[in-house]
């Protein structure tokens, strides 16, 4: 089976983790698959290297299936787009695609801005995709369903909600766990949306207070940059640490991109006893690997995600009035847990993913017949 996979492959290691977990499940249902990757950023208005046009349609129709995503590609903040989102496919393009299409675990996001016009454009796009028997639309379980209902009043028939593939990341090996290591991801993109009620420097000072108290107890910190700008906040924070902490308690993982890089990267996450962070896949992948997690909510999707799986008690809101105390106490409490297991939650999520992939196989098989 030849599959064209349109997604992010060279931008955020978390996306690579999603693809890893999704493809494993997909191949479990379909059997042998020959994947061809097409980078979504080539279609971004900022890159402007590719277009959703007749040439794209011709290319897609040479494959047995088209997978789009996962990712947050249903952000309706792009005025230039005919659909209001990154997937800028006109009705003519959709009509021209004869290959089965799976819109896979995509985030419908209104938090970056959603004009009435963009919402109208996106609604027309959804109606056009949903009326086609060859297309299956799925949202990620990150609050996208709630955002859609808030925008349009109801979730359209045919839209499925499935877990992100990062929950099912399969490592090639599982290293030993360092009981005194915390894996940390911090983000400073969209900082005005992430941090409320105080400035960036004040936020850093709060983190110094939390992490210094842990390092005083001998805990080691390992920082993970998922995108290039993560290196900035890692440096801005760690340069505030006392020198003795920098010499004895600090590790910083390298910045990597490209499909395949996720294996060793998340093996380094697995080595940590506890994982905490601001990025979506920091928390999704670590939770899926059975790690104890302390998700930091600085953007609604993470909080909505853990609410959707009944684990909202795990999260800490970076904008709460008692953030420093709550974060410090939560990390100390989680470090002391020895008998943690979330296997039932992860297995339930896996069943939902397999159900949708099986439904897509029925669509593909029906068209072939």
Question: Where residue 367 falls among pLDDT bands split at 50, 70, 90?
Answer: confident
At residue 167, φ and ψ (nearest 5 deg) are -60, -20
Select from 138, 85, 147, 159 the least CA-distant residue to 304.
Answer: 147
Pair 121, 222 in one domain: no
Q: pTM, whole model, 2 decimals?
A: 0.95
The CATH number for 314's domain is 3.40.50.2000
| Domain assignment present for 143 | yes
Pair 153, 233 in one domain: no
Pair 129, 198 in one domain: no
| Mean pLDDT of the chain, nearest integer | 96
| Domain assignment present for 69 | yes
Pair 330, 352 in one domain: no
Pair 270, 316 in one domain: yes
Pair 14, 134 in one domain: yes
Q: Report pLDDT digits (tens) over 160-193.
A: 999 999 999 999 999 999 999 999 999 999 999 9
Domain that holds residue 44: 2-167+348-368
Read off the pLDDT of each residue in 256-268 and give the average, rounded to a whole number: 96
Q: Report pLDDT digits (tens) over 51-94.
A: 999 999 999 999 999 999 999 999 999 999 999 999 999 999 99
| Domain assignment present for 173 | no
Select from 292, 353, 296 the least CA-distant residue to 140.
Answer: 353
Question: What pLDDT is stored for residue 366 in this prediction?
Answer: 84
Dist. CA 183–CA 11, nearest whole Å = 21
Question: Where residue 368 falls among pLDDT bands split at 50, 70, 90?
Answer: low
The CATH number for 147's domain is 3.40.50
| Domain assignment present for 142 | yes
| Domain assignment present for 343 | no
Pair 10, 113 in one domain: yes
Question: Where residue 369 falls among pLDDT bands split at 50, 70, 90?
Answer: low
| Domain assignment present for 342 | no
Pair 288, 232 in one domain: yes
User: Does residue 310 have a pLDDT over 90?
Assistant: yes
User: Does residue 264 have a pLDDT over 80?
Assistant: yes
Pair 254, 214 in one domain: yes
Pair 137, 19 in one domain: yes
| Number of domains comprising the chain | 2
Question: What pLDDT is stored for residue 89 in this prediction?
Answer: 96
| Domain assignment present for 172 | no
Question: What pLDDT is stored for residue 153 in this prediction?
Answer: 97
Pair 21, 46 in one domain: yes
Pair 182, 105 in one domain: no
| Domain assignment present for 22 | yes
């Amino acid at each position: 089976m030849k599959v064209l996979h349109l997604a992010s492959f060279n931008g955020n290691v978390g996306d690579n983790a999603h693809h890893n977990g999704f493809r494993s499940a997909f191949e479990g249902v379909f059997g042998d698959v020959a994947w061809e990757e097409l980078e979504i950023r080539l279609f971004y208005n900022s890159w402007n290297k590719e277009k959703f046009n007749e040439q794209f349609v011709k290319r897609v129709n040479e494959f047995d299936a088209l997978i789009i995503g996962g990712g947050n590609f249903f952000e309706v903040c792009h005025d230039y787009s005919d659909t209001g989102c990154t997937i800028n496919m006109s009705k003519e393009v959709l009509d021209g695609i004869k290959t089965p299409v799976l819109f896979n675990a995509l985030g419908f996001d209104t938090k970056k801005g959603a004009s009435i016009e963009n919402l109208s454009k996106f609604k027309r796009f959804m109606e056009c995709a949903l009326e086609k028997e060859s297309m299956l639309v799925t949202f990620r379980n990150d609050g996208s369903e709630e955002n859609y209902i808030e925008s349009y009043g109801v979730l359209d028939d045919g839209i499925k909600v499935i877990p992100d593939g990062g929950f099912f990341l399969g490592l090639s090996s599982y290293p030993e766990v360092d009981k005194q290591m915390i894996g940390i991801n911090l983000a400073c993109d969209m900082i005005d949306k992430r941090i409320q009620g105080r400035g960036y420097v004040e936020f850093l000072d709060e983190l110094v207070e939390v992490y210094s108290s842990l390092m005083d107890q001998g805990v080691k910190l390992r920082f993970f940059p998922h995108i290039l700008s993560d290196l900035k906040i890692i440096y801005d924070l760690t340069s505030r640490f006392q020198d003795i902490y920098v010499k004895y308690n600090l590790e910083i993982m390298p910045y990597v991109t490209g499909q395949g890089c996720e294996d060793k990267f998340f093996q380094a996450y697995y080595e940590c006893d506890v994982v905490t962070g601001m990025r979506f896949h920091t928390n999704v992948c670590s939770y899926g690997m059975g790690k104890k997690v302390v998700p930091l909510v600085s953007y609604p999707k993470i909080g909505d995600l853990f609410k959707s799986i009944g684990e909202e008690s795990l999260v800490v809101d970076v904008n709460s009035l008692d953030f420093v105390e709550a974060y410090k106490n939560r990390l100390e409490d989680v470090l002391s847990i020895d008998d943690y297991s979330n296997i039932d939650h992860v297995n339930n999520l896996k069943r939902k993913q397999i159900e949708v992939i099986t439904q897509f196989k029925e669509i593909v098989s029906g068209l072939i017949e």
